[in-house]
Amino acid sequence: MVLSQSLELNNGLKMPILGLGVYKSGEHTKEAVLAALEAGYRHIDAASVYGNEKEVGEAIRESGIPREEIFVTTKLWNDEMRAGIQREALLRSLEKLQMDYVDLYLLHWPVADCYIPSWNILEELQAEGRTKSIGVSNFQTRHLRDLMDHSKIVPVVDQIECHPYLSQEPLRSFCQAQGIQVTAWAPLGRTNVFEDTVIVALAKAYGRTPAQIILRWEIQNGIIVIPKSVHRERIIENSRIFDFELKPEDMAKMDDLNKNQRHCRPPEKCLPG
């Protein structure tokens, strides 16, 4: 079954609400992407810094699924921004993926003094058809305001750390007001989230796993999720979130779990690369 539920971006294109992340998938990347596509996923989230775009592309080609049916995201890394090789970086990513375009190209982090000129180049790359949409990752409200004050195109997406212990509600509300969809990286948090008594109780009540409860809470909040796994059974488990719905009172219980607990420090204090 194809997992076709999607959200409309501010440019009118559709983005599947469930995707597979390949961060740190390493040598298992190709196998994981093939398993996801077989399970019905049609959205793969990659990045140049992950070092596995080649394997992502190989898996997509070997799947036999037409390229236009799969939503592919990749990202411009910090050092590529600092070096002024934004255009070359995307062309290199396309070469590794063996694709003519990506569906979404993101600025990976809001690198000071680099993200606005980098965004202007992304606008050009979109106009050229190298990417269908452009967006950002790890941007907070002040970065988004600054970017929109100095650009023509509003990002279609802000990909941020988001999970029950870090709900990011103020940032999500700002994005919603601007027509920017939110994608959650680390949507399942870490394993300690699975042991939360509220989530365990809800999993038991609904006959689901803690991961499925968390992912269901996120997609009911209009958040795009890209859980990462290299295990076929977990990839399939993460996809089984469209045949049930959390009750409003249970959504509220999940909302109340927020602790503003980050696994990565805020962007201004955590700029890798």
Domain borders along the chain are: 6-190+223-240
Per-residue pLDDT, 219: 98
Query: Tens of pLDDT along 109-161?
Result: 999 999 999 999 999 999 999 999 999 999 999 999 999 999 999 999 999 99
Rounded-to-integer distance, Cα 273 and Cα 255, Å: 33
pLDDT tier, 269 (very low <50, low <70, confident <90, very high otherwise): low
Is 115 a catalytic site residue?
A: no
Query: Tens of pLDDT along 155-186?
Result: 999 999 999 999 999 999 999 999 999 999 99
Rounded-to-integer distance, Cα 230 and Cα 249, Å: 33
Residues in contact with 120: Cβ distance below 8 Å, sequence separation at least 6, in sequence order: 150, 151
CATH number of 6-190+223-240: 3.20.20.100
Burial of residue 256 (CB within 10 Å: 0-12, 13-18, 19+) is exposed
Query: Tens of pLDDT along 19-77?
Result: 999 999 999 999 999 999 999 999 999 999 999 999 999 999 999 999 999 999 999 99
pLDDT above 90 (res 85): yes
Q: Choosing from 23, 41, 50, 206, which is the catalytic residue? A: 50
Rounded-to-integer distance, Cα 46 and Cα 272, Å: 17
Query: Tens of pLDDT along 184-203?
Result: 999 999 768 999 999 999 99
Rounded-to-integer distance, Cα 171 and Cα 145, Å: 12
Sign of torsion, CA 142 71 216 186? Answer: negative
pLDDT tier, 1 (very low <50, low <70, confident <90, very high otherwise): confident
